[in-house]
Chains A and B, each alone.
Chain A
């Protein structure tokens, strides 16, 4: 066994540390007015990545068991990864709620908005469904068309932010970028582990660790 397997340990000592870290983080977040910085730290933390990795692995194993006939497509894996990421966000951001809402819609058919928001609230335990009614037109000074245009493009990239006002889009984008970076880190670690443990690469491992004697 390679030591890289220790990258994803799920031991009880880690969990107690996670709980303490989460309590500290929740306390800091409630105190701090500008929570975007602690949000970024949250996505950088080990506990968050472990939570995401275990959720992702769960989802991936479900894919394999449920669909043994056809091999899993990249699209399916991507959706599972996004779902796990949105779950890790715990419903506190719009993009995570939008991702979960989209999945719920696809599962149960086209649901109306009130139904899907209540379903999302049930999933994530969050009751925030109100949006501040600040329209973009009221912002003074930011009537520069380039900035507006670019923020609109950004709003299309971040899920669930197409109709949001400018500051909301910027806030969501900061959290979304940090979350995406964590997703990339977790998925690359998982890929490394799976590719080193897979049967097709066992010869590669032999070549790396034990160069064949020449001659």
Chain B
């Protein structure tokens, strides 16, 4: 009897195989702009994960900067109520 390791150990509802993980990692790689151009064979999983972390951090930073800018804009809008009313009616 050949021991099928993927069957025996998993008692949960989902069986996780190497292929699935490699698939998920390659999907992740396609999303990251820096790694999109390279062939998936040449990029190791740890590099993909590293770039993913960096990318998420940079996206967070961008959202923070945009939030700061938006809060400044909202503050400047409050000083001019006519403008604020127009913009509010346009955006809602």
A and B held together in a complex: yes
Residues of A participating in the B interface, judged by any CB pair closer than 8 Å: 5, 8, 34, 36-37, 40, 57-58, 60-61, 63-64, 68, 71-78, 81, 132-134, 138-142, 144, 146-147, 150-151, 153-154, 157-158, 165-167, 170-171, 173-174, 176-178, 180-181, 183-184, 187-188, 190-191, 193-195, 197-200
Main secondary structure of the interface of B (DSSP, over half): helix
Q: When A61-B88, A187-B70 are in contact, do A154 and B52 touch as well, CB less than 8 Å?
A: yes
Interface centre among A34, A74, A153, A176, by most chain B C-beta atoms within 10 angstroms, is A74
Q: When A142-B18, A167-B16, A177-B59 are in contact, do A194 and B50 touch as well, CB less than 8 Å?
A: no
| B36 lies within 8 A of chain A by Cβ | no
Q: How large is the interface on B (under 10, 10 to 19, 20 to 34, 35 or more residues)?
A: 35 or more
| B43 lies within 8 A of chain A by Cβ | no
- Among A71, A157, A200, which residue has its beta carbon within 8 angstroms of that of B78? A71
Q: When A74-B64, A174-B28, A198-B73 are in contact, do A150 and B87 touch as well, CB less than 8 Å?
A: no
Task: Please state if B83 and A197 are interface contacts (CB–CB under 8 Å).
Answer: yes
Task: Please state if A166 and B60 are interface contacts (CB–CB under 8 Å).
Answer: no
Q: When A173-B28, A187-B70 are in contact, do A167 and B21 touch as well, CB less than 8 Å?
A: yes
Task: Please state if B77 and A198 are interface contacts (CB–CB under 8 Å).
Answer: yes
Q: Which residues of A contact B27 (CB under 8 A)?
A: 36-37, 170, 174
